[in-house]
Structure 1
Amino acid sequence: MVFASATETIVGPPKVLTVRETYSPPNASRSNGRLVPIKHAPDSKADFGAEVYGIDLNNFTSADFDFIHDALHRHKLLVFKAQPEMLRPQQQYRLTACFDPDEQTGGFAHGADPVLLTENGVTIYGLPNRPAINAQPQVHILGRGELPENYFDFPPGFNVKGIDHVDFHVPPHIPREERDRGASRFYQWHWDGALYAIPPPRVGCLLAVRTPKGPDVTVHWGDGTGRTMGIAPGATAMVAGSRALEVLDDETREVVLNSRVEYAPHAFRWMSTARSTQLGHTIVTEGKEVPLDELPPWSEEKICVYPMVWTNPVTGEKSLQVHGQGAFKLYLKDKPDGEERIISDLKEVREFMHKIMSPALSPENIYAHPHQEGDVILWYNRALWHSITEFPESYGPRIMHQCNIAASDHPSG
């Protein structure tokens, strides 16, 4: 088995037909889709999410997609239940790509994948914690643990590398023995996107292939508040950007409504040597970021500068959508015609990110989705934040198929 080194040239995966070349939907005038809103706990302030029944995603029609498109923008998270069989990678890509018919490249939202390994004449692309499926290379495998037998083109015994807070968060870390008993952390609060050059996806899609089996875990905030939250093992935690905007004080809300964030060039490479706060929403300012002149080549015109608040094109709802870890510079205004104040000191940038993100990161605002094998979730990436959560290795593998593709446009408010 030959693994790519960190210095190898990034190469694109083999070409796979795009949705435009494969999509010829059956004639159908009406969808059989049915929505059941998710029932949140009585003390929950989460107000998003619905289960979907009556649509086979491996055979969805144009009428089904119209139903899905409207439902997703109104509910922000859809959970497709009672699927007759596992969603095929080609159909997962088709579903995701249909949300952006103007997008021309069909490319993975984080750019081209490197070669991961070559064995017996088969090349696998991706990263150890995010290998791509050759049959549809925009679909990646996330999670932790050994893949099922005879899994696509992967060699026998292939393991997906897991990630945990010990490798990323600033100490103190949760001791191994406590993690083995179910103590957990939010790894990283974010929306999906490269934060440089490539527009962030409109939607994200996850298929649960294998889910960990065991008692609920307890997520610890680790921020000195003592807050905890019980959730299903391997759950994906989510917060609505609309709720994040709502819980701000009036003065701060007015600022974010009129302000912008500039993200670092090659933001994930830039932050790769730094450490996250224990809550996973910002970076600790220690001067450990990769210097800009040591990053891969970058240009000013590819720097991403986004409004802090994005608008749902179907409902008009506004959501606070910021990526606290990739933030590099702020352009603050307290009213539309106000004077713009530029903040470039990273410590100040992160203090402001903490100020506007932390109020929403409270148990009553978080929905931790408990994945069930065979289910598919689809979320509106431009209105929700999400984070993976840790679980004991003894609970078994977590194998998920994720598809998110670059959008045709950058968010404009």
Structure 2
Amino acid sequence: MVVEALTEVIAPEGVKARLIATKSTDITLPHAEQTNGRVVPVQHAAESKVDFGAEVYGIDLNRLTDADFQLISDALHKHKVLIFKEQPEMLQPQQQYLLTANFDPDETTGGFAHGADPFLTSHGGVNIYGIQSRPAIPVQPQVHILGRGEVPENHYQFPPGFKVKGIDHHAFHLPPHIPKEEREKGASRFYQWHWDGALYNIPPPRVGCLLAVKTPKGPDVTVRWDDGTGTEMKIPPGATAYVAGSRALEVLDEETRQIVLHSRIEYAPHAFKWMSTAHSARLGHILETEGLELPREKLPPVDETKICIYPMVWTNPKTGEKSLQVHGQGAVKLYLRSSPDGEEKIVDDLKEVRDFMHRIMRPAISPENIYAHRHQEQDVVLWYNRALWHSIVS
């Protein structure tokens, strides 16, 4: 099981839990004069273009101090992904919330990643919120379990026999899908390349966090691009895949790079409800243009002042590094400029919008740019959500 805060956790049969941090409790950390933390950069294969990731030793996240947090924050902005090794015991949901909430202490609206959860079910007087594919943990409702399979008995107040519905590309990707017999032999796809955020009303969180409780076992899976290029990649089962927005910016041609440096994206209101009836492209980076999105009249009421328009390129506040941070599936309108004072071109035709999103996202989504993290049980993974894209496989 994995936990996220965004926080994610991997459970039986490959289950993930997501933490949506809110300022609902005291997030003050105990004081310490120094930390015992030690940061060791990840060594990637010689053919890899990945330049991020580090392992952290010597910090017990269940006993996190302000000195620990300062080291973590500095290291995270530098390395983008941190893997906390040698945790003496499983990270508790309350402490996972504490870790992630300290990165966004001023976000007080109920759940800054995707908003307030709907009521799901009740058991023995315990209410459970969320949706079947990511139910909230009753003892810390900002934490969600994502994945597939039955939740262990007495697992953070979940009822006996409670099952988490697995995420499956059959329900989201454009057909044809990978046949069952090929999937059983290890064929898979990236489900959705994204950074975490509501894309409406609520700002995107600064971090995501994964706790590996129980990980899938078996040989590596073969991830298919299925976009006509024949591209494939071997990755560990249950892995989380990451691409750096800085690398995505670097691999663009100069003309396109100048455009994204000076342009903005408008995202759909209630974006995930809006796209729930549409198909994703098979690579998981954009939607197919079939006219299947929910029309405005079938969405919850829209407050025009809460529609999100973000720059395409974001700057790391500690390092100054620039990253192409775009959510291809939620984009509905582009405001394009090729220079700071150039004429702005507005693109609101969905096919043109998606063609442009494909143009700027696809170059980075290549095996040499992808870090597929193999989760080890009891390890914790923290990533800088405003500089990376990520995806699971399904």
Would you call these one fold, judging by a TM-score over 0.5? Answer: yes
Aligned to 1:86: 90
Once the two structures are superposed, the pairs formed by residues 238-277 of structure 1 within 5 Å of their partners are 238-277=242-281
The whole-number CA distance in structure 1 between the counterparts of 2:109 and 2:348 is 34
Match runs of 1:2-401 below 5 Å: 21-105=25-109, 107-390=111-394
**Structure with the larger RCO, 1 or 2 (CA within 8 Å, 6+ apart):** 1
Cα separation, 1, equivalents of 2:28 and 2:322 = 34
Q: Is the 8 A contact 1:197 1:304 kept in 2?
A: yes
**Structure 1 SS opposite 2:200:** coil
Q: CA deviation at 1:107?
A: 2.4
Deviation at 1:343, TM superposition (A): 0.2
Q: Which deviates the most, 32-41 or 302-311?
A: 32-41
Is the 2:112–2:202 contact (alpha carbons within 8 Å) kept by the matching residues of 1?
A: no
Structure-2 separation of matches of 1:30 and 1:111: 36
Q: Are the aligned partners of 2:37 and 2:58 in contact in 1 as well (CA < 8 Å)?
A: yes
- Local SS of the residue matching 1:22: coil
1:104 is displaced (CA, Å) by 2.9
CA deviation after TM superposition for structure 1 residue 18, in Å: 6.7
Q: 1:172 to 1:34 in 2, by over 3 A?
A: same
- CA distance 1:101–1:17, change in 2 (3 Å): closer
Query: Could you tell me whether the CA contact under 8 Å between 2:21 and 2:97 is conserved in 1?
Result: no
RMSD: 1.4
Stretches of structure 2 that go unaligned for 5 or more consecutive residues are: 1-19
Deviation at 1:117, TM superposition (A): 0.9
The Cα shift of 1:195 comes to 0.4
Q: Following TM superposition, by how much is the alpha carbon of 1:17 offset from its aligned partner in structure 2, in angstroms?
A: 11
Distance verdict in 2 for CA 1:269–1:21, change over 3 Å: closer
What whole-Å deviation, never above 9, does each CA across 1:305-324 have from its counterpart, x for those lacking one? 00000000000000000000
SS at match of 2:98: helix
In structure 2, C-alpha distance between the alignment counterparts of 1:322 and 1:26, rounded to whole Å: 36
User: May I ask how many residue pairs the two structures share in their alignment?
Assistant: 375
One-letter amino acid of the structure 2 residue matched with residue 145 of structure 1: G
SS of aligned partner of 1:210 = coil
Distance 1:303 1:22, change over 3 A: closer
Change (3 A) 1:18 1:310: closer
Distance 1:23 1:202, change over 3 A: closer
Percent identity over the alignment is 73
Compute the displacement of 1:210 (Å).
1.0
The alpha-carbon deviation at position 41 of structure 1 amounts to 1.2
Distance 1:250-1:167 versus aligned 2 partners, 3 A rule: same
In the TM superposition, what is the alpha-carbon distance from 1:24 to its structure 2 partner?
4.7
Q: CA shift at 1:55, angstroms? A: 0.1
Work out the CA distance in 2 between the residues paired with 1:22 and 1:320. Answer: 34
Query: Hey, what's the Cα distance between the residues in 1 that align with 2:302 and 2:22?
Result: 28
* SS across alignment from 1:118: strand
Cα 1:340–1:51 change in 2 (3 A) is same
Q: 1:21 to 1:195 in 2, by over 3 A?
A: closer
1:101 offset after TM fit, Å? 2.4
- Residues 106 and 125 of structure 1, relative CA distance in 2, 3 Å threshold: closer
Separation in 1, partners of 2:51, 2:182: 32
What's the CA shift string for 1:59-117, capped at 9, x where partnerless?
A: 01110000000000000000001001111111000000111222234624111111111
What amino acid sits opposite 1:107 in the alignment?
G
Provide the rounded CA distance (Å) in 1 between the counterparts of 2:29 and 2:277: 46
Q: Is the 8 A contact 1:108 1:138 kept in 2?
A: no
Secondary structure of the residue that 1:242 maps to in structure 2? helix
Asked if the contact 1:97–1:106 (Cα under 8 Å) also holds between the matched residues in 2, the reply is: no
> Contact 2:136 / 2:145 at 8 angstroms: preserved in 1?
yes
**Structure 1 residues 243-285: Cα deviation after superposition (integer angstroms, max 9, x where no partner):** 0000000000000000000001111111111100000000000
Worse-superposed segment, 183-192 or 36-45? 36-45
CA distance in 1, matches of 2:175, 2:203: 33
The one-letter amino acid of 1:192's match is: D
1:200-253 superposed Cα distances (whole Å, 9 cap, x missing partner) = 111011111110010110000000111100000010010000000000000000
Given that 1:203 and 1:381 are in contact with CA atoms closer than 8 Å, whether structure 2 keeps it comes out as yes
**CA distance in structure 2 between the partners assigned to 1:127 and 1:142 by the alignment:** 10
Aligned in 2, Cα 1:72/1:142: closer, same or farther, shift over 3 Å? same
**Residues 23, 324 of structure 1: CA spacing in aligned structure 2 closer, same or farther, 3 A cutoff?**
closer
Q: Tell me, what secondary structure is at the counterpart of 1:102?
A: coil
TM-score, normalised via structure 1 length: 0.89
CA distance in 1, matches of 2:25, 2:135: 24
1:19, 1:98 within 8 Å by CA — same for their partners in 2? no
